[in-house]
Structure 1
């Protein structure tokens, strides 16, 4: 995998809106934060556009993203928010200049589609908070964690043990994102080769029966038989029907992973909540799940 260069003061970064629309002037705090890091910030022309629920037409959003990918001065691309729309752009994206000048992609949720595109072209990316959420009320670990990984490459994590964990250790390449979108990517040209993957999953506002169905899909598609380990992030605002499903999210995941021996680490703070720790997708790492804590440690780049 290709690791883009770490950022340094004076670098130019771009903010684009490949998915849902954002309100006018909603990026002021994010721009101030990025500028305080010493970065030059370029706002895409269509960032504040609106076409139905998306930030402009497909052509407008594509043009902004493509321009940021092609410009060698741009060292990182921040997606303003998720929502819906990124997947509509994948087949039209051109990679000639991205591969000549690899750069970081930052985002989560619907941006999982773009993480898959970066991964398919063997470029690392960062699953982290987005500019719409970068404001003075955001937890320090969310903002400073992103700054640290972009400027120093340090994104190792340790977190508390969960009674739902399955102990063990694994080595592999970290990748993942939103569970629904991972499921939607199966059978497409952007589906990763899961053979050497430590998979991260998160979800928001889903019914338990649908989470179960998504896990069934991963199992039937052979994903769970191939991955090396599983890191479970935030499952936020989980819903249930009046006739309850009967199992917790942890129990659903445990059931569908029961036939496999890979370690499972629940409770990682990433997803659709204010505390959102960054993850470097495409980077080799070691997952350790012990009786006292879980840890992700990245291997040094060669």
Structure 2
């Protein structure tokens, strides 16, 4: 299996080429053969090219089926394309071994894939955010290595610490989720994955806790949260406190949602708009185990040509305990 990696821009405009070039060099050092999609640096308004150009880029990358398709950045733009994406074409690229990777706005692509084809993708880093820093000492110590392990097929489990109170919890189900705002915007559309008995992970940025609470309560009232076996909350970063809060913050927000939701809600997942982020297989059957405050999420080894449609891909063991 080659280590071909294509950088593409499905969403927001790339303002400067330098971070993309730096990301390409660092990804080469990790062992990838990096290529830049022909329209990765295109510009139209706030987008990386107009809708036709970005749609063509998605389909071009899918046709080429590199080992890894890594988005340069998030922003906004994929929602415009969802009704026109050739989902079977993307699914075939995954059957041929492509891992589509990103987070933030890329959530729309990942959940659309899951909804239309049940194909797997990877919630993980973005090229500019995580590999495009000016100096090496600005890079996160964990994120690049976890990415390399995930893309090589070595990564079989992730772990993190959560609050007390969930010791002994065990659950199996399809792992899915991503950016809360993007995910919620898909509710009621054909691009919404109807996952029951799953493990849902969520993160967001620049959203005050009351806005996060409102989105979570929307999912609760729509029957989504209680249909899951567990909910994993990542980082909700870069929000600004208000004089109106009067003691209300993220902790109080989580308590309010827990009060009306029977599904266990675990905090502490290292994922979101923060330097340290895990890679998570969206659409993969996983097993979640909580030992005191340690959470393990494990899945079975997947070969490049294995596909979510095969029942034998289900996870029976959480590796790496």
Counterpart in the other structure of 1:122: 118
Deviations 1:76-120 (CA, angstroms, capped at 9, x unpaired): 211100011111111111134333331211000111101112212
Task: Indicate conservation of the 8 Å contact 1:21/1:55, yes or no.
Answer: yes
Q: Cα gap change, 1:42/1:245 in structure 2, threshold over 3 Å: closer, same or farther?
A: farther
Deviations 1:170-199 (CA, angstroms, capped at 9, x unpaired): 111111001111110100111111312100
1:244 counterpart = 2:245? yes
Q: Cα gap change, 1:232/1:96 in structure 2, threshold over 3 Å: closer, same or farther?
A: closer
Number of matched pairs: 293
1:298 counterpart = 2:299? yes
Pick from 17, 25, 33: which aligns with 2:18? 25
1:40 counterpart = 2:33? yes
Counterpart in the other structure of 1:185: 186
Counterpart-to-counterpart distance in 2, 1:160 and 1:54: 37
Displacement of 1:300 in angstroms is 4.5
**TM-score, scaled to structure 2:** 0.85
Displacement of 1:164 in angstroms is 7.5
Task: Indicate conservation of the 8 Å contact 1:164/1:250, yes or no.
Answer: no
1:1-302 → structure 2 map (5 Å cutoff): 8=1, 10-22=2-14, 23-72=16-65, 74-102=66-94, 103-120=98-115, 121-133=117-129, 134-135=131-132, 136=136, 137-163=138-164, 168-244=169-245, 246-301=247-302, 302=312
Displacement of 1:166 in angstroms is 8.0
Q: Cα gap change, 1:261/1:208 in structure 2, threshold over 3 Å: closer, same or farther?
A: closer
2:118 is paired with a residue of what secondary structure? coil
Q: Cα gap change, 1:132/1:226 in structure 2, threshold over 3 Å: closer, same or farther?
A: same
Unaligned runs of 5+ in 1: 1-7
Q: Cα gap change, 1:262/1:56 in structure 2, threshold over 3 Å: closer, same or farther?
A: same
1:26 is paired with a residue of what secondary structure? helix
Deviations 1:25-81 (CA, angstroms, capped at 9, x unpaired): 321222112222333222112211221111111111111111001224x22211100
Counterpart-to-counterpart distance in 1, 2:38 and 2:241: 41
**TM-score, scaled to structure 1:** 0.90
Displacement of 1:282 in angstroms is 0.9
- Which deviates more from structure 2 when the two are superposed, residues 108-117 or residues 19-28? 19-28
Q: CA RMSD in A?
A: 2.0
Task: Indicate conservation of the 8 Å contact 1:145/1:155, yes or no.
Answer: no
Counterpart-to-counterpart distance in 2, 1:59 and 1:251: 44
Task: Indicate conservation of the 8 Å contact 1:283/1:298, yes or no.
Answer: yes
Counterpart-to-counterpart distance in 1, 2:242 and 2:282: 34
2:196 is paired with a residue of what secondary structure? helix
Q: Cα gap change, 1:214/1:245 in structure 2, threshold over 3 Å: closer, same or farther?
A: farther
Counterpart-to-counterpart distance in 2, 1:90 and 1:266: 30
Q: Cα gap change, 1:237/1:99 in structure 2, threshold over 3 Å: closer, same or farther?
A: closer
Counterpart in the other structure of 1:4: none
Unaligned runs of 5+ in 2: 303-311, 313-321
